[in-house]
Every structure is written in C-alpha cells, then in structure tokens.
Structure 1
Amino acid sequence: MRAGDLLGSRVVDRSGGDAGTVQDVVVRREDRGYAVLGLILGRSAFAGRLGFGDSLEPPTPWRHLLAWLRRHERYVRWEDVVSMEAGHVEIGVDHGSLPRRRRHDP
C-alpha cells in the first residue's frame, strides 16, 4: 500500500467509534527511503499543509485562524494502527486519547 492510498480513508478506534479521516501521512527520511511515523486524522488538513503547526509557527495575525482550522486534527502513531484496507483504517486506541499535535519522534 502506498501512502497516497491512505489519504481520505475512514478511521475507526478500538471501540468502533469514528475517529475521522486520514488527512496526512507523517514520514521520516531514512537511508534507503522513508519510514512512516504516524497519521494526521481530522476533517481537513488545510492549515497543516500550509506548513504551520509542528516546527513552524504562523505569523501572529494568522495564529488563531490556523489553530481554529486545526482544532479537529488528531495524531495517531504508526504503532497504534491495527489494520488497513482500501478506504478503512482501524486503530488500537480510543479517539479521545489521541493528541492534537505530533510528538517529535526520535
């Protein structure tokens, strides 16, 4: 499965509840390719795709607007993904326990 195949997939948590859709795939460059670190879930990833949110702070006038746009985003670590099928991802944690921001992995 390619990373692009995950985008737009519905995500359910361990209790069967709706956790949103996959909006982005977080990867890290390694020697021979890329390693998947996690998935960004939510309704839209528009603000995140502008590059603001993790290491890049938005300009002051835009800070509140971009935070509001990202209010539904959640991050799930790749280790918490239980299964994947076309258009469907299951995670082994509850949606409510997912952090809003990605914790920087080593």
Structure 2
Amino acid sequence: MNTKQLNEKFHSKRALVGTANHCICGDCVLYTEQIMFNIELIEFLHSKGLDPRKADEVWAYLEKDEYKYYTVDFFQVYADKEESHTFSNAKITIQHNIYAEKGTPRYSCTVDVVFKI
C-alpha cells in the first residue's frame, strides 16, 4: 500500500468534525462548512489520503477583524517526507512526529487556516 491508501484506511472510521460523534460546537461546524471552499487545500489533502473533515482536533484560537483563525491537527499520518505548502487562506505542514508510538504512523499534519466570518 502507498501512503495515500494507508491514510485512507487508518482514518476511514473517524467521525466527521461538526457531527455529534466528534464535536458540534459552533467553531467545528463553521470549520466544516468553510474548509470545503478551499479546493486547492482539499485536493492536496485528498492526494495524501486525508479528509479535512476527519481531523483529530480543530481549534479556533483567535477571532479578529471579521476573521476566525484555526489550527487543525491530524496527530498521526503516513507520509514519505516532511513538507509545507501554502494555499489561499491556509498553510499545511507535514512533519515527523517525535511522539509517535511504535507501530503507528510516524508523521503529523497541521493545517493553519483563516476564514472570514
């Protein structure tokens, strides 16, 4: 299996952000609605086998001047290398996870994204 297939399998049973099985707070619901408009980011995540709506943690940490700032984490992902990319309203970083336990994916993925509210 390649890394995309491994991520799809590993994350397949995760609950969707913004649903009762994950979290239905206003920040999570807004994230789920808004993230799907960033087509470049969605395509990149899908190319890695990741669904932005199945993140481990979604954290809205700042609201300022009609914008809401989020950090979104996938704690465990399969990857071939560290990388970072910037899209219109987001930056994604895949990095080696020094806390990964043996037998689990060795990388993590963080998305920093800003939405106009």
TM-score by length of 2: 0.28
Normalized against structure 1, the TM-score is what?
0.30
Larger RCO: 1 or 2 (CA < 8 Å, sep 6+): 1
